[in-house]
Amino acid sequence: MVYLFQILNGLGLGVIYFLLAVGLSVIFGLLRFVNFAHGAFYMVGAYLTYEATRDGASFWLALPLAALGVAALAGLVEALLLRRVYKLDHAYHILVTVGVALVIQELTIIIWGPIGASVAPPSSLSGVLILGQFIYPQYRLFVIGFTAILALLLWWLLEGTRLGALVRAGSESAETMALLGFDTPRINTAVFALGAGLAGLAGALAAPIRGVEPFMAVEAVGVAFAVVVIGGMGSYLGALAASLLVGVIQGVMATLWPQGASLMIYLTMAALIAVRPRGLFGRA
């Protein structure tokens, strides 16, 4: 029962990691842009949820507002700053996005303070599911189910819509798209905002589980990059498979070796790079 509980916990972590990683993967696939500010957008989503629920708003209203608010912020940052460095070396991408992340972190401390806070789950999901001797929080089950549905919708968006076709075409050759007359700056902004919005949604969903604190972005961006590397850069299926794998490993190791639960994520990444450098589903 203990391991079943931890596997379900791992799946709950994994689906949150998926929302984080798939946005990062889509951004890299289209823009070839290394975004170290992705964890900061996750943190902003969590804090927007905290602020909204603290002011009396329903969690169900705070959830989409957090995602949309983060998407709007990311779109603004991309349009005003980040698009100016796309064609530069990846070292500049890292420097600029780390700077953006630090600015967001310091603003978060100024606005909400350096001490973390808890976020209550919605009252309708505050109970537990009891099946014999097995007891599991309803909110965590909701996160797993909700994100599974969202994963299907994202797959349809990327595979069955015009936007998805443009994203896939742009990941192959952005120059060809520009020559064909597509407004690539607007597409880039939309994709960047979508990826960051998914990170904000992940933060909103994670807030009732882990609470909020101004340094949560560092952990999030580390895990997101590990998941993307394990799954394969630019791969939707890879992001999903790697997220669930990482979540389950972390969940089970929390019982077997609590001090090494996070370490195992990066050991798994290192081992996979050694035998399959492009990741599980990455292109050669």
Token pair recorded at residue 117: 């806070």
Residues 123-147, mean pLDDT to the nearest whole number: 85
Residue 98 has pLDDT above 90, yes or no: yes
pLDDT over threshold 80, residue 121: yes
Tell whether 234 is covered by a domain.
yes
On whether residue 281 sits in a domain, the answer given is no
> Would 282 be classed as within a structural domain?
no
In a domain, 15, yes or no: yes
Domain count, the chain: 1
Rounded-to-integer distance, Cα 182 and Cα 255, Å: 52
- The Cα 40–Cα 21 span in angstroms is 13
Is residue 204 a part of any domain in this protein? Answer: yes
pLDDT of residue 207: 95
Is the pLDDT score of 30 beyond 80?
Answer: no
pLDDT tens sequence across 145-157: 999 999 999 888 8
Backbone torsions φ then ψ of 89, nearest 5 degrees: -60, 155
Q: What percent of the chain has pLDDT over 70?
A: 91
Euclidean distance between the first and final Cα of the chain, in Å? Answer: 41
Does some domain include residue 148? yes
Largest CA distance in the chain: 63
Task: Give me the phi and psi of 137, to 5 degrees please.
Answer: -65, 135
The average pLDDT across 256-279 equals 85
Name which residue leads in pLDDT, 60 or 257: 60
Q: For residue 113, what pLDDT band results from cuts at 50, 70 and 90?
A: very high
Return the pLDDT at 56. Answer: 87
Residue with tokens 């070839």: 32
Query: What is the rounded average pLDDT of the residues 75-82?
Result: 93
Which domain does 36 fall in, by range?
Answer: 2-275
Domain with 31 in it: what CATH number?
1.10.3470
pLDDT given at position 181 = 66
As beta bridge partners, residue 130 has 135
Binned at pLDDT 50, 70 and 90, residue 87 comes out as: confident
Beta bridge partners, 134, equal: 131
Q: What is the pLDDT of residue 237?
A: 85
Beta carbons of 204 and 66 less than 8 angstroms apart: yes
- Establish if 6 belongs to a structural domain: yes
In order of 16, 230, 248, the CA distances from 273 in angstroms are 23, 8, 19
Flag whether 131 is in a domain.
Answer: yes
Token pair recorded at residue 176: 């060809």
d(CA 112, CA 226): 29
Q: Residue 284: its pLDDT value, please?
A: 56
DSSP E strands, 111-214: 128-131, 134-137
Length of the chain in residues, anyone? 284
